[in-house]
Amino acid sequence: GILRTLPSMTIVSPSDKSEMEYFMEKTLDWPHPIYIRLGKGGDPVISKDNTAFEIGKGYIVREGSDLVIFSSGVMTERVLTAAASLKKAGLDCRVVHLPTIKPLDNDLVLSAINGVSAAIAVEEHSRIGGLGTSILELLADQPIIPLSRFKRIGLPDLFPEKYGSQDSLLQLYGLQPQGLIATIKSIAQTT
């Protein structure tokens, strides 16, 4: 969140080992400083053969017609798991992976929102200053959807009261697939 305010700073959050490898190749000629949000390692590979990786570009990893979920980093795998369960429950979610938080792929974000009832950003970061805030800032300047139809799911603005593994903390804050399913269903019912 702090680094996003620095001019020309690039912020990347790869989903897995494979995407990190493709990203590293792109850094050799990149003219700006880069901050990389790394996962703990060992995460499932969801970006198989993504040789088209580009800094500043995202991609749709799952088509859907009811709402769109934006994610980055290790959250994309969790969002895909949640989206598969939501589809069985009758809620068809488009999932957009944004491995670059800054510069944001504005064109993809705006086109992905087109035609859906709601948009959600899911991140393993504070709801302040991260992916959701980047999208919110873009939407504030665009007449695409009312801002009330955009929601952010992330870490609350507080220090954790409990400590543990990455998975246990994501569970605590509702960022594992089951928690995401409940929150996304609730959002879909109110938009």
Among residues 49, 173, 86, 64, the alpha carbon closest in space to that of 123 is found at 173
- The pTM assigned to this predicted structure is 0.93
Successive 10-residue mean pLDDT values, the chain, 191 residues: 93 90 89 89 76 87 96 95 96 96 96 91 93 94 81 91 86 92 90 70
Q: What gap in Å lies between CA 25 and CA 15, rounded to an integer? A: 16
Q: What is the pLDDT of residue 51?
A: 64
| Beta bridge mates, 34 | 10
User: From the CB of residue 185, how many other CB atoms can be counted at a distance below 10 Å?
Assistant: 16
Q: Are strands 67-71 and 118-126 parallel, antiparallel or unpaired?
A: parallel
Q: What is the pLDDT of residue 99?
A: 95
Distances (CA, A) of 171 to 5, 137, 174: 29, 28, 5
Among 19, 13, 58, smallest CA distance to 36 is for: 13
pLDDT for res 50? 64
**Residues with Cβ < 8 Å from 150, sequence gap 6 or more?**
118, 119, 120, 121, 135, 136, 139
**Pairwise CA distance, residues 177 & 171, whole Å:** 9
Q: Where are the alpha helices (DSSP H) in the chain?
A: 17-27, 75-88, 106-113, 131-140, 166-172, 177-190
